Structure 1
Amino acid sequence: MRRASAVAGALLVVLPLAGCTPTLQVDAQDVGGTDAELCARLVDAVPDEVVQARRRDLEVLSGTDATVAAWGDPPLVLTCGVGTPAGFSRVASACQDVAGVDWFVPEEQMEDQSREAVATTIGFEPAVELRIPAAYRPPVEVLVELAPAIRATLRNPNPCVVADPRDELAP
């Protein structure tokens, strides 16, 4: 009898803790064909834990559920199948190579570490967006931990190449 009450007491302690992080409601991308397959492979391949934040249960409100993953609270949210980010120009925008994945973060977000940043892969198909709350800034460790899954599952036909200004001076 004593053992049964000890187990019941332990369950009472564990059950409330299990409910601390509610299901996260998200909107996902609507993708089909090969992009849907690649996004599903990516979402399956990402780690269960990123920067010590556990993967979240999701309720997808719209779009394809196999295009999104999230970790922690506040949540890091990865969305696969996004378009070219606003403000990105292949000619004028800087890309950050982190562990073999090129990312674009708008300059004003790069400068202000106290606010959320949105990093988008450049060159990978389909493109991936990662919403990074200020609590995870600077985001280098997050990007490093996600890079192996991105490199292993997505195509990279168009790496971000920033022209070297010295190239224009060559004869």
Structure 2
Amino acid sequence: MATAVAVPVVIVLLVLIRVLGPGSSDDDAAADVSGATPTQRDESPVEVETPPITPEADAACPALMSQLPLELAGSTSRRVDSDSPYAHAWGDPAQVLICGADAPAGFVVGGPQLIQVNGVQWFVDTTDPTVNVWTAVDRTVPVEISVPASQDGSIPTLLSPVIAGAIPYAEPQPR
């Protein structure tokens, strides 16, 4: 009888540790689900060039920005210095997200640089040896994540469900 009760309790605890991460507090969990705009923890700002804000970005991006986590894949949020409120960064070296980004050069529907990750179709540009640029091309506005080439694609992978839930699907089309 004790084993029948202990096994489900252990499973629930393991799931909570996996979701919240080791060392998470109740305050961290509340911040993750509150829907509030994240406040950055790292004080060193990241300068980010952003395209002009479009009406489409103003319509779609606030929903995404309000759901971005303070910590992601072990990297903490950083302040961003840009002309747009639709930019966010994590870690050092910074991995930078821009909502309402420009369409990627070289994007071809069905091309070899497209990958589907957790409900989002990404165009991955690896032409710069220092950075890989992931652009979600199947949303009403492009979402770009620049990842240093020395790092893996865990941040775009982890953010795919957030992007899919926040920004409506649109048939991918070269722009």
Regarding TM over 0.5, the answer is: yes
Q: Decide whether the 8 Å contact of 2:100 with 2:141 is kept in 1.
A: yes
Match of 1:87 among 98, 106, 109: 106
Q: Which residue number in structure 2 is paired with residue 14 of structure 1?
A: none
- Greater percentage in helix: 1
Segment of structure 1 superposing worse, 69-78 or 84-93: 84-93
Q: Which residue number in structure 2 is paired with residue 131 of structure 1?
A: 146
C-alpha distance in 2 between matches for 1:159 and 1:88: 10
Q: Which has the larger radius of gyration?
A: 1
Q: Against the structure 1 CA distance between its residues 92 and 20, is the aligned structure 2 distance closer, same or farther, given a 3 Å change threshold?
A: closer
C-alpha distance in 1 between matches for 2:75 and 2:120: 21
Q: Against the structure 1 CA distance between its residues 21 and 126, is the aligned structure 2 distance closer, same or farther, given a 3 Å change threshold?
A: same
Give every structure 1 segment of 4 or more consecutive aligned residues whose post-TM-superposition deviation is greater than 4 Å: none
Q: Which residue number in structure 1 is paired with residue 71 of structure 2?
A: 49
C-alpha distance in 1 between matches for 2:116 and 2:64: 19
Is 1:145 the counterpart of 2:158 in the alignment?
yes
Higher relative contact order (CA 8 A, sep 6+): 1
- Structure-1-length-normalised TM-score: 0.68
- Structure-2-length-normalised TM-score: 0.67
Task: Give unmatched runs, 5+ long, in structure 2.
Answer: 1-40
Root-mean-square deviation (Å): 2.3
The alpha-carbon deviation at position 91 of structure 1 amounts to: 4.9
Q: Against the structure 1 CA distance between its residues 22 and 156, is the aligned structure 2 distance closer, same or farther, given a 3 Å change threshold?
A: same
C-alpha distance in 1 between matches for 2:126 and 2:49: 25
Q: Which residue number in structure 2 is paired with residue 103 of structure 1?
A: 122
Q: Decide whether the 8 Å contact of 1:29 with 1:80 is kept in 2.
A: no
Q: Which residue number in structure 2 is paired with residue 29 of structure 1?
A: 51
| Identity between Structure 1 and Structure 2 (%) | 26
